[in-house]
């Protein structure tokens, strides 16, 4: 009996999502149809995997930091949003600097808005 590798891989991805923990997400919105998406890092049994709306799945990796070296986490990007349950705000701000490049660019980190001013991310007051 031949093994359908695609079905097997899909089943493993489904199991990983059911049992794993979403530990990082990069979302973006290009303000046009098909211009939005997200990349996710999921921890499952001590290993880290990348899934995405736009890229092929990758992994396993040994750490969140290792996953963030993947090409799918390059930058800059339109209207970036970052979320993490394991990385500190300082770490997320450092990562966010990949996705904003000009003064006035904004990024959302864990539902808080920041603006780039002179190379530093500052909180946007409501």
Q: What is the per-residue pLDDT across 20-58, written as a single tens digit (0 to 9) for each?
A: 888 999 999 877 776 789 999 999 989 999 988 888 889
Q: Total domain count for the chain?
A: 1
Q: What is the pTM of this model?
A: 0.84
Phi, psi torsion values for 45, nearest 5 degrees:
55, 40
The range of the structural domain enclosing residue 105 comes to 5-123
Choose among 55, 77, 79: nearest CA to 67: 55
**How do strand 21-29 and strand 81-84 relate by DSSP bridges?**
antiparallel
- Give the tokens for residue 99: 């996705």
Using a 10 angstrom Cβ sphere, with 0-12 exposed, 13-18 middle and 19 or more buried, the burial of residue 113 is: middle
Q: Is 31 left (phi over 0), alpha (psi -120 to 50) or beta?
A: left
Q: Is the pLDDT of residue 126 over 70?
A: no
């Amino acid at each position: 009996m031949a093994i359908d590798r695609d079905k097997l891989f899909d089943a493993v991805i489904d199991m990983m999502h059911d049992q794993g923990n979403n530990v990082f997400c990069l979302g973006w919105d290009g303000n046009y149809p098909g211009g939005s998406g997200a990349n996710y890092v999921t921890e499952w049994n001590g290993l880290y995997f990348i899934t995405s709306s736009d890229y092929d799945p990758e992994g396993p990796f040994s750490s969140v930091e290792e996953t963030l070296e993947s090409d799918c986490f390059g930058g800059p990007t339109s209207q970036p949003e970052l979320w993490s349950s394991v990385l500190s705000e300082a770490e997320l701000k450092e990562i966010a600097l990949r996705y904003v490049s000009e003064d006035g660019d904004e990024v959302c980190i864990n539902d808080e808005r920041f603006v780039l001013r002179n190379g530093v991310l500052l909180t946007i007051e409501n």
